Amino acid sequence: MHAEPGKIVSTFLGFEDHGIFTAQLTVDYGGSGQGVGGYNLGGDTGFGAAFIKAVLRAAGVDAWEKLPGRVVRVLLEDEGWGRVVGLEPMPFESGERVIFADLVQETERTAS
């Protein structure tokens, strides 16, 4: 796993063009950027609320509207343009690390 500092420059929380409830962050690595999220948040497992809470905690904020401008460590599967696997706060910031696959497993386990 590789961590890259990224500034959250924009967010989306709502229904995408196919009617799927989703959330997306756009992060800027300083010259390049990447989307984070895009998960279907509308299922019955509770993943939607857990994902939103985890993103807020990783960024150290208490409201979705406060995400733009925050710098977080984007956790990538591999160095370079890898798949985003999670987020964590910068070492000097408050917050909690989130690994998206762990969040999926946790919410599926508690839903059954």
Domains of the chain, by residue range, sit at 2-111
Q: Dig out the tokens for 62 from the structure.
A: 């208490």
C-alpha torsion sign, points 61, 39, 98, 46: positive
Q: What is the pLDDT of residue 80?
A: 67
Q: Dig out the tokens for 12 from the structure.
A: 């989306």
Q: Flag residues of the chain having pLDDT under 70.
A: 80-81, 112
Q: What is the pLDDT of residue 111?
A: 72
User: What 3 state SS string does the chain have?
Assistant: CEEEEEEEEEEEEEECCCCCEEEEEEEECCCCEEEEEEEECCCCCCHHHHHHHHHHHHHCCCCHHHCCCCEEEEEECCCCCCCEEEEEECCCCCCCCEEHHHHHHHHHHHHC
Report, at the CATH architecture level, how domain 2-111 is classified.
Answer: Beta Barrel (2.40)
The amino acid sitting at 68 is P
Read off the pTM: 0.90
Q: What is the largest CA-CA distance in the chain?
A: 43
